[in-house]
Structure 1
Amino acid sequence: MTDAGARFRTLLARDDLLVCPGVHDPLTAAVADFVGFDTIYMTGYGTSLSKVGYPDAGFITMPEMIDNAANIQERIDVPLLADADNGYGNATNVVRTVREYIKAGVAGIHIEDQTFPKRCGHTTGRQVIPREEAVGKIRAAADVRDERGEDFVLIARTDARGTGDGSLDEAIGRANDFLDAGADVAFVEGPTDESELERIGREVDGPLVYNFVGDLGSSPYVELDALDGWGFDVVLFPITATLSTIASVHEDLSAFADDPVAGMRRIDDKFNRQPVGSLHDFSGFPEVVDWERAYLPDEERDKYEGSLGDDVESGGR
């Protein structure tokens, strides 16, 4: 039983729409946690791009995704929802995938019904496996949840709306079948307008996720109050930190390329205007010093006397 899963279930039971910003590594997760959110989401696209340098097109593996998820959950104080792509194989592969995510300690995952290799749910060229096979994968995932971590949250995603011959009817039908198979939450990827969102909210019989991808994808910008009114329970903003990182790093490095010294001063100044404290404070050095004081011999503290550098004993600058 995962503590993160139990906490997420408590949040899901509230009437309020649960907003989850997307992060791609422990650093961006730490920033989101500092800002303050009830739940954080690990994006598959951002993880693939940041960890292996490839787009969200089936290039990242299950161990790489789980390693990232475990490190993020360790770094933050709130429950983490994680992308589990298509489960990395058939129903038997899903058994191990869910076991490994439960061991990682995250609150829950979503698994989609795409073929392998999968791709971003807002790009062309997606394909889905037959409905019966997809239901079998969700049943396998639900059985592992029940056996290994009953509070672990299973979100079942369908990409049927976005395939070449996909229909909203097929997507809604799959979502309900996935809930019947044991999923806790349904996730219809790629609705194209507000009328489709209203139908999903009306016709899917269970808790719902909306994937708010903005200009990157095919789903509309909508107000959160509208989503709440249509019956959605969770809204993911999957690429928030990824787009922010790319845009900010590009802006800063462009200025740095023109004048490295002035560019570095600009970066320093921008960082120092944030409320996170020094880099050493934010990264956790004070906690390391506390561990040293608690567990190392007293003479180990002599290393700080007369040494040069930012004073991590007091948090640095």
Structure 2
Amino acid sequence: MTTTGETLRDRLAEDELLVCPGVHDPLTAAVADSVGFDAIYMTGYGTSLSKVGYPDAGFITMPEMIENASTIQERIGVPLIADADNGYGNATNVVRTVREYIKAGVGAIHIEDQTFPKRCGHTKGRQVVPKAEAVGKIEAAADVRDERDDSFVVIARSDARGTGGGSLAEAIDRVNAYLDAGADVGFVEGPTDPAELQRVGREVDGPVLYNFVGDLGTSPYVAMEDLDAWGFDLVLFPILSTLSTIASVHADMQAFADDPGAAMRGVDDAFDAQSLGSLHDFSGFPEVVEWEEQYLPAEDREKYEGSLGDELGEE
């Protein structure tokens, strides 16, 4: 059976930019998967905010991130690229982190060189560990990959550009060192303008990723064809589902506060206008009915006779 890592590596080998929408839970991942993408990204910021209610400032733990990644990957049919923050400790902690993400079945993770507690890569106050320490963490990640699943993709990120006095040159130098240490893809966080992006694409010696955050951070809006021309292989839109969810729910809640019935009708109509089918269809109830028909005794089907509700896929 082909692993998610193998599928992702095959896609990255193609001469076309891989564009990945960001999701924060299995629900938003299922929506993205229904639209159709070659890979999907699990945001750390959105995971922290949706799962534990705190911002991306080191409050969420490795097991919580692993659980979210595992359930997302189970729900979708394409590889998941997951945020692994700073590996949740030093190089020895990275060993367990990578082992756990491989067990979760995801296609890739990215590990950054921030100190602990880490914070969103587009907020002030970030700091990075010494280069040698960060290289050791990437070496540990690469060794676990080679031992446990050599198709697993390790993405190495540097936040050096955004630290006090940090420079783009230092971030590029670090990412190249991480690639030399065994990383599969390089990730310079926080280029501030198209000229810096062009330099990253030119000077990073390996496959390279762009984190498209937009107005939330320092990354500029650029066209996909420009990123492709500048040498980028992969682009993440990490906060897409989180911003979309907050904005949509806030608007609906405001309407609900004014007129609950009318707001509910508006939400129903908006949902029905999509191509997802009913909520029951989208959530997978028809498949549950198929499982019942295949595996449960025939008498268990009697519960449907005379009962009220949607058909749930039965004949």
TM band (smaller chain): over 0.9
Structure 1: any 5+ residue segments left out of the alignment?
none
1:132 corresponding residue in structure 2? 132
2:232 corresponding residue in structure 1? 232
Is 1:18 the equivalent of 2:13?
no
SS of aligned partner of 2:182: coil
SS of aligned partner of 1:34: helix
Per the TM alignment, residue 309 of structure 1 is displaced from its structure 2 partner at its CA by: 1.6
Please tell me whether the aligned partners of residues 212 and 221 of structure 1 are also in contact (alpha carbons under 8 angstroms). Answer: yes
Task: Kindly report which structure 2 residues correspond to 1:117-128, keeping only aligned pairs within 5 A, or say none.
Answer: 117-128=117-128
Structure 1 ranges of 4+ moved more than 3 A: none
Task: Kindly report which structure 2 residues correspond to 1:214-233, keeping only aligned pairs within 5 A, or say none.
Answer: 214-233=214-233
Please tell me whether the aligned partners of residues 2 and 152 of structure 1 are also in contact (alpha carbons under 8 angstroms). Answer: no
2:44 corresponding residue in structure 1? 44
- Classify 1:103/1:276 alpha carbon distance in 2 versus 1 (closer, same or farther; 3 Å): same
1:253 corresponding residue in structure 2? 253
Write the distance in 1 (CA, Å) between the matches of 2:50 and 2:308: 33
Write the distance in 2 (CA, Å) between the matches of 1:174 and 1:273: 48
Is 1:263 the equivalent of 2:288?
no
Please tell me whether the aligned partners of residues 289 and 314 of structure 2 are also in contact (alpha carbons under 8 angstroms). Answer: no
* Count of aligned positions: 315
Write the distance in 2 (CA, Å) between the matches of 1:167 and 1:254: 44
Write the distance in 2 (CA, Å) between the matches of 1:231 and 1:67: 34
SS of aligned partner of 1:210: strand
Write the distance in 1 (CA, Å) between the matches of 2:255 and 2:267: 9
Task: Kindly report which structure 2 residues correspond to 1:48-63, keeping only aligned pairs within 5 A, or say none.
Answer: 48-63=48-63
1:207 corresponding residue in structure 2? 207
Task: Kindly report which structure 2 residues correspond to 1:73-92, keeping only aligned pairs within 5 A, or say none.
Answer: 73-92=73-92
Per the TM alignment, residue 314 of structure 1 is displaced from its structure 2 partner at its CA by: 4.0
1:196 corresponding residue in structure 2? 196
Per the TM alignment, residue 219 of structure 1 is displaced from its structure 2 partner at its CA by: 1.2
1:7 corresponding residue in structure 2? 7
Write the distance in 1 (CA, Å) between the matches of 2:2 and 2:186: 21
Write the distance in 2 (CA, Å) between the matches of 1:119 and 1:313: 45
1:69 corresponding residue in structure 2? 69
TM-score (structure 2 length as normaliser)? 0.99
Please tell me whether the aligned partners of residues 21 and 237 of structure 2 are also in contact (alpha carbons under 8 angstroms). Answer: yes
Please tell me whether the aligned partners of residues 176 and 204 of structure 1 are also in contact (alpha carbons under 8 angstroms). Answer: yes
TM-score (structure 1 length as normaliser)? 0.98
SS of aligned partner of 1:313: coil
SS of aligned partner of 2:313: helix
Write the distance in 1 (CA, Å) between the matches of 2:192 and 2:265: 44
SS of aligned partner of 2:110: strand
Per-residue CA shift, 1:21-60, capped at 9, x if unaligned?
A: 0000000000000011110000000000000000000000
Structure 2: any 5+ residue segments left out of the alignment?
none
Please tell me whether the aligned partners of residues 2 and 106 of structure 1 are also in contact (alpha carbons under 8 angstroms). Answer: no
Aligned-pair identity in percent equals 77
1:181 corresponding residue in structure 2? 181
Please tell me whether the aligned partners of residues 2 and 149 of structure 1 are also in contact (alpha carbons under 8 angstroms). Answer: no
Write the distance in 2 (CA, Å) between the matches of 1:240 and 1:187: 19
Aligned residue type for 1:216: L
Aligned residue type for 1:156: A
Per the TM alignment, residue 2 of structure 1 is displaced from its structure 2 partner at its CA by: 7.0
Per the TM alignment, residue 176 of structure 1 is displaced from its structure 2 partner at its CA by: 0.4
> For the aligned residues, what is the CA RMSD?
1.0
SS of aligned partner of 1:41: strand
1:148 corresponding residue in structure 2? 148
Task: Kindly report which structure 2 residues correspond to 1:292-303, keeping only aligned pairs within 5 A, or say none.
Answer: 292-303=292-303
Please tell me whether the aligned partners of residues 142 and 183 of structure 1 are also in contact (alpha carbons under 8 angstroms). Answer: yes
2:291 corresponding residue in structure 1? 291
